[in-house]
Chains A and B, each alone.
Chain A
């Protein structure tokens, strides 16, 4: 037997490969990143890192329209970026199967919100499938392609962090080739001009009606009979938690939550005394049950925020003994910039300057925390430049704090370029700093258009951020080296004094990317005056010991930023 432990992400990749997927596109984002990383390891599927999720979905739609099975994967907030083509795709339909994977993040392990993307399926009129473990993730990926082709509609596969990053046993199968259907010109279908789109909307509602009937009879929506006193209706990983806490209850397990299997739910409800909806994170199932006029318990007892767990389900729905409490008063261990991280030098240079800093999303968001506290906002990818621009327009010349944006290189390509053009075009004095560490650091070092390599590692054009910034209309473009924090600080000071917009490219590869060869630095205790200037770098290898600065040799990357900032030359 070919059993293997696969994460949900790996299982989706496997499922896509087995289903004959030929084109896949994604922008990285926890917890979805490993889907494309894993799929790129299989033959017969073209895989790419697109510059953002909207692009990825459009690429997949273009490929599906051209007749091959295609997939786009993204984290939950990525679907906000891709929402525009997502809604259009429902009108247009598929031809070759089109599967969109959304990886939601209840509990905000690595995200800025807890949005529940099942709603997107309802809003865009797209079927939504929700696996409960890796085997189902693989199987439902295959099913999603079949549904997509049978009903001429994109399919949303919705997973959560605990599906994406849990490994469970999967039976591997073989690849079933689906020969390309070819591109056939069908303008009234693929061009959604108002005149055509009116008809497409009617057509879409017809497809949804047929899917409604499908949802009633698919074996993926199944009742698992048990004790008739308690009926639990659930999807995704919540099913596993509820199974753990109520092993004997009756279950209605939904693998397809949209369209909603109304009759099935009615029949199930009729056979149990109490009905409970267990789901993450919003009451998506619960509200649809209520809409049928059925009595159901759900978010009145279960929390409306953060992720579920066996403990949370037990605590919310039973009278059981409270579980043991965690130890109190322990120091937290938040994530931190790594030793040798070039962002540290940049933030050092920004500290205690008269600035308002629009921040963005990436490793460098950690610069918002002490000791740097060098950021005023973090909203969504690309919002640093636009936030600073808005602040500039609001505050005008009277407010002397310079408006600054800080954005990573991958984020700049993702959605910073349009904001930068807007800044130049609409004439504001924003200083945009591109923290260019030559990689997509936060999500584990993916290639992007500035690295000169594709997802599969092939050499390709290396888009030059400085030249791009000039083409966006910013004439003053300066390069600095964050490994020289003192000089960088001086250069920034000067720029803050000068009128007009500017782009600063702060360039140094991520320290995890180029394992530094330099030996660890050490502190000369005679020369150290304990001024703690070096600690302002926030480097995990730096600390105080017996009243003087101290470098933990086993952690030190040897980058030398601390030596650069030491006013007494005590570090070498």
Chain B
């Protein structure tokens, strides 16, 4: 299975990918995860590739072959749509973070309705999950990634409990409880 995760530097894309790839590893599969550090993380566009199965060769997903695209921000969702397989699924947060040059008025921004239209035109299986808003309500916007994990868990071959267990193992002890609540919130949002 090929899962591409997209977002903006600082949104917790990396931790999400780490959770996902370790859940896959625990289930006995071969796993490869690829990400980029450094310059790209200073508020730039960030994507990580997670692939798992009986045997994985390339750490990178080929365009047009992602089974699942998880996007933490709507513009970033649209930026990576071409990675989706024809029957691939998009799970995205419609939260918007303007690129800094747009915010400073140096280049024109993307119109919200236009982004919606591009998504609708290109993707059949899509689910919008307001994970940032949910995380904000829970009192910590940084759990947006675990809300997302809860939301996509139903589309992964691992089961909820395997995901929860990995959250317990990988999240700092003082944040485990909050993250488990965030995970359940994501589950609810996906099934609502």
User: Which residues of A pack against B, CB within 8 Å?
Assistant: 3-5, 30-31, 33-34, 109-110, 133, 161-162, 165-169, 237, 240-241, 243-244, 247, 309-311, 314, 323-327, 330-338, 363, 366, 370-371, 442-444, 532, 535, 538, 540, 542-544, 554
Contacts and interface: CB of A to CB of B under 8 A. Distances in A.
B42 A363 contact: yes
Interface stretch (B107-115, B145-153, B154-162, B181-189): B107-115
A323 B75 CA distance: 21
Nearest to A532: B105
A166 B34 contact: yes
Contacts of A240: 57-59
Contacts of B9: 335
Interface string B27-56: 000111111111111111100000000001
B32 A166 contact: yes
Given A333-B44, A338-B43, A241 B79 contact: no
30 contacts: A3-B25, A30-B37, A109-B39, A109-B40, A110-B38, A162-B34, A162-B60, A166-B33, A167-B21, A168-B32, A168-B59, A310-B58, A323-B82, A324-B64, A326-B79, A327-B79, A331-B101, A333-B43, A333-B44, A333-B75, A335-B9, A335-B40, A335-B44, A336-B100, A336-B101, A371-B104, A442-B38, A532-B105, A535-B104, A542-B103
A442 B104 contact: no
Nearest to B136: A554
Interface string B79-96: 111101000000000000
Given A244-B57, A338-B43, A443 B62 contact: no
B99 interface: yes
Interface residues of B, number: 54
Given A323-B82, A330-B78, A540-B103, A165 B42 contact: no
B8 interface: yes
Nearest to A371: B104
B15 interface: no
* Interface core residue of A5, A31, A544 (most chain B CB under 10 Å): A5
Contacts of A169: 25, 30-31
Contacts of A166: 32-35, 59
Contacts of A310: 58, 60-62
B110 A336 contact: no
B108 A331 contact: yes
A309 B60 contact: yes
A162 B58 CA distance: 10
Contacts of B60: 162, 241, 309-310
Contacts of B43: 333, 335-336, 338, 540
Contact of A337 (B42, B81, B102): B42
Nearest to A132: B57
Interface string B118-153: 100010000000000000000001000000000000
Nearest to B77: A327
Interface of B: 8-9, 21-22, 25, 30-45, 56-64, 75-76, 78-82, 84, 98-110, 118, 122, 141
Given A110-B39, A244-B58, A338-B43, A331 B33 contact: no
B100 A538 contact: yes
A442 B100 CA distance: 18
A330 B109 CA distance: 8
A323 B63 contact: yes
B45 A333 contact: yes
B100 A167 contact: no
A106 to B, nearest CB: 12
Contacts of B58: 237, 240-241, 243-244, 309-310
A109 B108 CA distance: 25
Best-surrounded residue of A3, A336, A444 (most CB of chain B within 10 A): A336
Contacts of A109: 36, 38-40
A309 B82 contact: no
Given A33-B37, A310-B58, 8 more contacts: A133-B59, A162-B60, A168-B56, A311-B63, A324-B81, A327-B81, A331-B101, A335-B44
A212 B79 CA distance: 48
A188 B106 CA distance: 63
Contacts of A371: 104, 106
Contacts of A3: 25
A311 B78 CA distance: 19
Contact of B22 (A5, A323, A336): A5
A551 to B, nearest CB: 11
A109 B103 CA distance: 24
B110 A110 contact: no
Given A331-B99, A543-B103, A237 B59 contact: yes
Contacts of A543: 98, 103-105
Nearest to B43: A336
A444 B59 contact: no
B62 A323 contact: yes
A335 B39 contact: yes
B10 to A, nearest CB: 8
